[in-house]
Amino acid sequence: MKLSPFPLEQELGMRYYSSDTTGIGGKLRSTAEDFLVEEIPVAVGDSGPYLICKLTKKDWELQHAVKELAKRLGISHRRIGWGGTKDRHAVTSQLISLYEITPAQMADVRLKDITLEVLGRSQFPLSLGSLKGNRFDITIRELSGEDIEGQIQSVTGTTSAGLPNYYGVQRFGVIRPLTHRVGEMILKEDYEGAVMTYIGQSFPDEPEENRATRRIFYETRDAREALHRLPVSMSYERSMLHHLINRPDDYKGALKVLPPKLLSMFVSAFQSWLFNSALSIRFDQGTAIDEPVPGDLLIFENGREDHVTVQNQAIAAQHIKRGRCIIAIFMPGSVTATQGHSGSAIEHLLEEQGIGPGNFGKAQDFVHSRFNGALRPISLMTPVEALQEEDRVRLKFTLPPGHYATTVCREYMKTDPLRMI
């Protein structure tokens, strides 16, 4: 394995690469068309109160696209559901569900760089996970490494054996990777800290004017001045500032003006940070990605779960080698305590943050979303078709829901994560 030299990846718990190559460098998303994502959808019926449409978008963040679509239809954005959150600077297609909307209403909607195709109806709304997976066709440009072809072949062999199944940088925010820190503060019921982080923390890749405004707000708490300075496009921050102008110091209320799904994503991002960090701690200890140790949790192909013991350790290793099961880490929530070999690392991280199961329970009441905890495989395995085309490399592969294409790309590129967003 190889350590990442990049501070941002270290901050987000993504400290290792699986392969030892130096990387081909390069840049993702030179154009939106360089990052193509096609959702593998669930089956669609022909009856029910939910209209199912195929949404194809270019250079749109999903939450903003849904909000604008709801505005054009004159409905609450809460009536629109989807199975997965897709990349912003990309061309993506996915299914969405709309409650009590007709095809005629959809036909009247016109949005730049968005197309909508009615596919059918359903008795139930789409929710996170309502998809079979995603197909990716990604072009990497501006290559900088040596022996590109040799490195591609080396890494492609590794992708079939298994890569660290990290949550990608975009899980934490693209230009401003801070969603996990906002989630941490919500879990601690530090609502003022959550608001000040979301509105007031600036990052180098933002326009200087926006960074200056964020700094001023962080230092002065002057919501009116910040609202005057922030551009109209920052609709979430502006909504929070409007609330603070009308109800000063009501930071909890300011957070509640955000869409519930966005609030839920903050807390989930903190769980993702826990997973990334615990996985890297495992590698710190010298344990290989396919090496079971007593206490590890296993997920089998049929969904059965089991623990590794001293007695079954050798058998578990054979099952993993033959692809019958995979090692997983449990991301804690409100119902089940931390468990498994990596549980002690997560417990230590939670103790450092002063967070326990009760905090997740309180967050459920605040966000109106459940955080029970979940198992996630530590290894991402997928066949990759990697083609060198003159001065660029093209990667084609398919991933299950919740897995990140940039986790595959970073293994080939080994470059500054800001060149992958």
Whole-Å CA distances, 5 to 21, 27, 411: 14, 17, 13
Is residue 173 in a domain? Answer: no
Tell me how far apart the alpha carbons of residues 12 and 170 are, in angstroms, rounded to a whole number. 11
Whole-Å CA distances, 348 to 281, 327, 329: 11, 21, 15
Tell me how far apart the alpha carbons of residues 336 and 2 are, in angstroms, rounded to a whole number. 33
Nearest CA-CA partner of 340 in 330, 349, 331: 330
346 and 243 share a domain?
no
pLDDT at residue 344, rounded to an integer: 80
289 and 356 share a domain?
yes
328 and 352 share a domain?
yes
Q: How many CB atoms lie within 10 A of CB 114?
A: 16
What torsion, rounded to 10 degrees, do the Cα atoms 394, 397, 403, 404 define?
Answer: 0
Q: How many CB atoms lie within 10 A of CB 275?
A: 23
252-260 contacts, C-beta under 8 A, 24 or more apart? 252/191, 252/366, 254/191, 254/195, 255/186, 255/191, 255/194, 255/195, 259/63, 259/67, 259/77, 259/78, 260/78, 260/367, 260/368, 260/369
Is residue 292 in a domain? Answer: yes
Among residues 46, 59, 87, 222, the one annotated as catalytic is: 87
Strands 297-300 and 379-380: unpaired
217 and 340 share a domain?
no
Nearest CA-CA partner of 227 in 261, 201, 199: 199
138 and 227 share a domain?
no
Active site residue 137: no
242 and 210 share a domain?
yes
Q: How many residues appear in the chain?
A: 421
Is residue 171 in a domain? Answer: no
Structurally, the chain folds into a number of domains equal to 4
283 and 369 share a domain?
yes
204 and 251 share a domain?
yes
Q: Which residues of 357-391 are buried (b: 16+ CB within 10 A; e: fewer)?
A: bebbeebbebbebebebbbbbbbbbbebebeeeee
Is residue 251 in a domain? Answer: yes
pLDDT at residue 338, rounded to an integer: 55
Looking at residue 162, its amino acid is G
Is residue 56 in a domain? Answer: yes
Residues 405, 305: contact at Cβ < 8 Å?
no
21 and 140 share a domain?
yes
6 and 55 share a domain?
no
272 and 409 share a domain?
no
DSSP class of 21: S
Class of residue 397 by CB neighbours under 10 A (exposed 0-12, middle 13-18, buried 19+): buried
Q: First CA to last CA across the chain, in angstroms?
A: 24
DSSP element (H, E) containing 268: helix 260-284
Nearest CA-CA partner of 119 in 62, 207, 42: 42
Q: At 189, which CATH number?
A: 1.10.1510.30
Range of the structural domain that residue 6 is part of: 2-32+133-165+381-420
Among 377, 393, 409, the domain boundary falls at 377
Is residue 69 in a domain? Answer: yes
Find where tokens 């991002």 sit.
269
Is residue 277 in a domain? Answer: yes
pLDDT at residue 84, rounded to an integer: 87
Tell me how far apart the alpha carbons of residues 25 and 39 are, in angstroms, rounded to a whole number. 27
158 and 205 share a domain?
no
pTM for this entry? 0.88
Per-residue pLDDT tens listing for the chain (421 residues): 899 999 999 999 999 999 999 999 999 999 999 999 999 988 899 999 999 999 999 999 898 899 999 999 999 998 999 998 888 899 999 999 999 999 999 999 999 999 999 999 999 999 888 899 999 999 999 998 788 899 999 899 888 778 999 999 989 987 889 999 999 999 999 999 999 999 999 888 888 999 999 999 999 999 999 999 998 888 899 999 999 999 999 999 999 999 888 899 999 999 999 999 999 999 999 998 999 999 899 999 888 999 999 999 999 999 998 889 999 998 888 766 556 666 788 888 898 888 888 888 888 888 888 888 888 999 998 999 999 988 899 999 999 988 999 999 999 999 999 888 8
DSSP E strands in 159-301: the ranges are: 163-164, 297-300
In this structure, what token pair is assigned to residue 409? 């790309």
Q: At 54, which CATH number?
A: 3.30.70.3160
Partners of 137 in the β-ladder:
36, 396
